[in-house]
Structure 1
Amino acid sequence: MDVVIGIDTGTTATKGVAAGLSGELRALTSVHYPLSVPGPGRAELDPRQLTAAAVKALTDVASECARRGDRVVAVSLSAFLHALVPMDDDGRPLGPVITWADGRSGEQADRIVAAGAARELQARTGTPVHPMSPLTKLAWWGETDPGTLRGTPRWGGVKELIVAALSGSPFLVDLSVASGTGLYDIHSRQWDDEAVKIAGVRREQLAEVLPTTARLPLRPDVASAAGLAADTPLIIGAADGPLANLGVGATPPGVAAVSLGTSGALRTVVDRPTNDTAGRLFCYALTEDRWVIGGAVNNAGSVVRWAAQSFAAGFERPGAEGEDADERDAALLEEAARVEPGSEGLLCLPYLLGERAPWWRSGMRGAYLGLRREHGRPHLVRAAVEGVCQQLALVRDSFEAEGCSITEIRATGGAAASELWVSVLAGALDLPVSVADVPEGTGLGACLLAWHALGELPDLDRAATLVPTGRHTRPDPSAAALYGRLRPLVERSALAVLDVVTELDKLAPEPLPGTEKAVGS
């Protein structure tokens, strides 16, 4: 079979998949690495680990394709959004990757908002002004180390990093990733003058923007290591969120995709760049004529992993000695599923990594409210899951406020394998949820986009017929009604405690050198 390999660089792992034109997955691999937290509000990755993981994922999947007798006709790339990394002229990193979860530029974001520039910037760039965005990260560099900001030859993100590692064409970025930087005018299709000025960089320090279907050459040594033909094209691809919609078949009107990975998001596809009037939703490109609107939440599966690390010391089931972190998470979720919806009056604000949609406010922090003596570990874990799903429901409410009606959800990501996650999501959204019957929707989306670039899949909506769906979960009416009553309390609580957590942040000591933490593996 002719196949395309999709390489999806994520926050804690790079996934590699191979898929035929029918959407059938032929191979799958995953290469993990830690997310470093060197201080409060910071979240970084080692760029060398990212590039090594991309090469290994490509090589491993290509080897499996060769074993099966499949012919690889292209390689396609996906990458997570909002990263920033200093680079030299050849695309080599000069420092760590500052990820979307890094909140160090909160003060800069707040000042842009206070100056009244945020709404117009978002209308032009499609990206809310928030510490996640490269715009505010660059502004932070300009205030803390202006010499490095000006003197660094290039500023890029994960896609530029991986393209430079796999291609002979350094410092290129796709339209999709560019549309998530907060620096690119999605209407005029060029770097935005005001945003670039606020960031303190020059246009020549930013990458050339290509269509998401652009073909590039593979580096000869990379092709050779993977056992691929020297002329195998590299499709530059898109960002992970828009590709997840494509990979789960959530491209027709009324169908939205929910990603439940380390972070989460709810997105739907439209046919032109669109921004909501209240500034609650982002707008990023899938292709030049298909765009994705939605909202991302910083915390999803990472919250359960944190709960497992924090609440499960010594937690072992009979006969489960030596189980890995994923198995432990699953066991905790199974335990939490026995708690009734609403967690017996316990409310969780799951903002461990801050929060994004729908408020796009810097400095948000997590909390448990209503905690009583009778609450135990199962309540804490279930409340965390409910908190994430309620946040996604607030994003869905923003869709409805703009007249964009959603009638069906297609879910993807590691957490979507959990029945608890899916049942709570269906209840919080009060919508049926279909779990895509593919283990890696984003990677499959990268493959389908490549088939589109090769001219073999002209109509992207055909993806909805190619992607099989697994279990179909309808919301429990009583749970949906309860979550509907609780949701205003989530919003009120989150905004009410913002002043308090801002003061608490000021009291948090900086970590001593060498005490940084790693999250995930």
Structure 2
Amino acid sequence: MDVVIALDTGTTSTKAVAAGPDGRVRAHADAGYPLQVPGPGRAELDPVAIVDAVRSALADVLTKLPDGDRVVALSLSAAMHGVVPLDADGRPCGPLVTWADDRAAETVGRLHEVAAGLHRRTGTPVHPMSPLAKLAWWRENDPELLARAHRWGGVKDLQIAAVCGPGLPIDLSSAATTGLYDIMSRRWDDEALAVTGVRHDQLPEVVSTTHRLKPLPDLGVGDVPVIIGAADGPLANLGLGAVAPGVAAVSLGTSGALRVMTDRPAVDDDLRLFCYPLTDDHWVLGGAVNNAGSVLRWARDAFEASEQELIEEAAAEPVGAEGLLCLPYLLGERAPWWRAGLRGAYLGLRRDHNRGHLVRAAVEGVCQQLALVRDAVRAAGVEVREIRATGGAVASPFWVETLAAALDQPVRTAASPEGTGVGACLLAFHALGVLPDLDATADLVALNEPVGPDPAAAARYARMRPLVERATLAIADVLAELDDISDTRAPGAERTAAKE
């Protein structure tokens, strides 16, 4: 079979996924690296480790291909919102700062007068996760680094350097996730650059996501093209076949997201959503949540019990956790609030609540956040008629059943856990002309049977959801003040948060 090898670089590892034009995975490999937390609020990666992992994962997957399979292209998928300074030769001259780094929280507060306009033009919320906010923080706090950098890049630039060499263009999708790129006029945004102190010549040329590059000769793949690819979020939609209007992709891993495809860039009036491209005529509208599987890991550590044991106890408790409401913002939160420094809470706690109630309420809280994102998508005038889900958490029936009830819609899960890598492979086959119509992938990707919502549970969650919104808005300032009093931004606390 002719296969594409996708290189999917995330926060803790690079996966190499080989798949054919039918979307079925033929081989996969993984190379990890540690997330570094050298101080409060910091979350960084060693860029050299990323480059090494990309090459290592590729070399490993090549040894695992079935006999007779022929590699016809490489394709790149990169985690969003990272930023790294580069020298005159395009090589890293500092760490890559990840989306989880929140040092720019106070800087974001000072950008409130320009935030709405930037969000509408760039499709990226003005939030500590974004490269725009990080660069603005550097301008205030480390101007020497800003002056020393010859060029700025992200995870995709490191991938490209690993397989093609440094100093090459960036794809439209990755550029659009920086908060520096005007998705309406298709150019680097002048106001965003003024806010950050970055010059146009410090940013790469932007090309389409199907652009072809040449591989380095020592990769062992011959003279096949390297498809520059896209950001991992839009590619996850493609890997689920969630490309037709009204088909939403939900990711449930350590964090989560809900995204639906549209044919043009758009941002909702209330600025609750992001908008990032897959191709020139395929754009994802949606929102990411910081907390998903991470709440279960917190419970595992706090209660010194296995995740499976906690899930079983949570599933045994009634829907609604007997009046217990959780705002699951253990790692802050993004959509739909985009409020830096948001903290979590339990409301309605009584002495007869046990850890099963606490875990159920936390899982319900995560699914309610995704339902709020879905509601924002609908309010923006985009239909959501079908839900497809992927990620580590969907291996649990309890998670899937709770999600289906919170959304009050059936949920179909992906047969393969490598959704983003599969999406990158399918995009490459599209670039090669093998899959001329991306919309046809809706029927290509293998899915499990749908899990429908329990009507009684769906009705209860619908009644509870406005309380989540009201509680978040009502107590956010109180929790922020408690944060200041108790100094929860101590290095230990931040180290735990960034580790997730």
Q: What is the deviation of 1:278?
A: 1.3
Q: Is 2:186 the partner of 1:194?
A: no
Q: Are positions 1:248 and 2:240 aligned together?
A: yes
SS state at 1:391 partner: helix
Measured against aligned partners, the alpha-carbon deviations of 1:437-473 in whole angstroms (never above 9, x if no partner) come to 1121111000000001111111001111110111310
* Residue 359 of structure 1 pairs with residue 356 of structure 2: no
Residue 427 of structure 1 corresponds to 405
**Which residue pairs with 2:387 in the alignment?**
409
What secondary structure sits across from 1:330 in the alignment? Answer: helix
State the 1:402 CA deviation. Answer: 1.9
Once the two structures are TM-superposed, the CA of residue 516 in structure 1 deviates from its matched residue by 4.7
Could you tell me which residue of structure 2 aligns to residue 110 of structure 1?
A: 109
Query: Out of 270, 274, 278, which is 1:278 matched to?
Result: 270
Residue 204 of structure 1 aligns to a residue whose secondary structure is helix
Contact 1:163 1:169 in 2 (8 A): yes
Answer whether contact 1:91 1:161 (CA < 8 A) is retained.
no
Length-normalised TM-score, structure 1: 0.92
Cα deviation, residue 30, structure 1: 2.8
CA shift digits 1:92-121 (9 cap, x unpaired): 2222222112221111212212x2x22211
Unaligned runs of at least 5 residues, structure 2: none
1:498, CA displacement in angstroms? 1.5
1:470-497 Cα distance to aligned partner (Å, 9 max, x none) = 1310011111111111111111121222
1:430, 1:110 → 2: CA distance? 36
Q: How does 1:116-131 map to 2 (within 5 A)?
A: 117-131=114-128
SS at 1:344's partner residue? Answer: coil
Are 2:10 and 1:10 aligned? yes
Identity %: 62
User: Over residues 232-271 of structure 1, what are the superposed CA-to-partner deviations in whole Å (9 max), with x where a residue is unaligned?
Assistant: 2111100111001100010111110001122111111111
For structure 1, the residue ranges without an aligned partner over 5 or more in a row are 316-327
Q: Quick check: 1:47 aligned with 2:47?
A: yes
CA contact (8 A) 1:9 1:54 kept: yes
Q: Which moved more, 1:485-494 or 1:365-374?
A: 365-374
Write the mapping of 1:432-471 to structure 2, written as runs, cut at 5 A. 432-471=410-449
Amino acid at match of 2:11: T
Aligned position for 1:265: 257
Pairwise CA RMSD: 2.0
User: Secondary structure of 1:356's partner?
Assistant: coil
- Partners of 1:372 and 1:172 lie apart in 2 by 57
Q: Which amino acid aligns with 1:214?
A: H
Q: What is the Cα deviation at residue 334 of structure 1? A: 2.9
Preserved CA contact (<8 Å) 1:75 1:234: yes
Tell me: CA distance 1:247–1:12, structure 2 relative to 1, closer, same or farther (3 Å): same
Q: Judging changes above 3 Å, is the alpha-carbon distance between structure 1 residues 186 and 61 closer, same or farther for their aligned structure 2 residues?
A: same
> Aligned partners of 2:383, 2:395: CA distance in 1, in Å?
26
CA distance in 2, matches of 1:389, 1:157: 30
Amino acid at match of 2:443: T
Query: Equivalent residues in 2 for 1:377-388 (5 A)?
Result: 377-388=355-366
Cα distance change on mapping 1:501 and 1:459 into 2, 3 Å = same
Distance 1:42 1:479 in 2: 40
Shift of 1:8: 1.1
* Aligned match of 2:143: 146
Residue correspondence of structure 1 range 55-134 to structure 2 within 5 A: 55-65=55-65, 67-113=66-112, 115=113, 117-134=114-131
User: How is 1:303-318 mapped onto 2 (pairs within 5 angstroms)?
Assistant: 303-312=295-304, 315=305
C-alpha distance 23-154 of structure 1, shift in aligned 2 (>3 A): same
SS in 1 for 2:261: strand
CA contact (8 A) 2:41 2:489 kept: no
Deviation at 1:40, TM superposition (A): 4.2
SS in 1 for 2:430: helix
Structure 1 residues 495-504 or 184-193, which shifts more? 495-504
Distance across 1 between alignment mates of 2:47 and 2:457: 43
Q: 1:41 to 1:344 in 2, by over 3 A?
A: farther
Q: What's the secondary structure of 1:337's corresponding residue?
A: helix
Maintained 8 Å contact 1:103/1:354: no
In 2 relative to 1, CA 91–511 (structure 1 residues): closer, same or farther, beyond 3 Å?
farther
Q: What is the aligned partner in structure 1 of residue 454 from structure 2?
A: 476
Q: Is the 8 A contact 1:168 1:217 kept in 2?
A: no
CA distance in 2, matches of 1:189, 1:428: 37
Distance 2:311 2:158 in 1: 36
Q: Measure, in 1, the Cα distance between the counterparts of 2:154 and 2:438.
A: 27
Q: Quick one: distance in 2 between partners of 1:304 and 1:499? A: 26
Q: Is the 8 A contact 1:22 1:466 kept in 2?
A: yes
CA distance in 1, matches of 2:359, 2:479: 22
Counterpart residue type for residue 251 of structure 1: V
SS at match of 2:375: helix
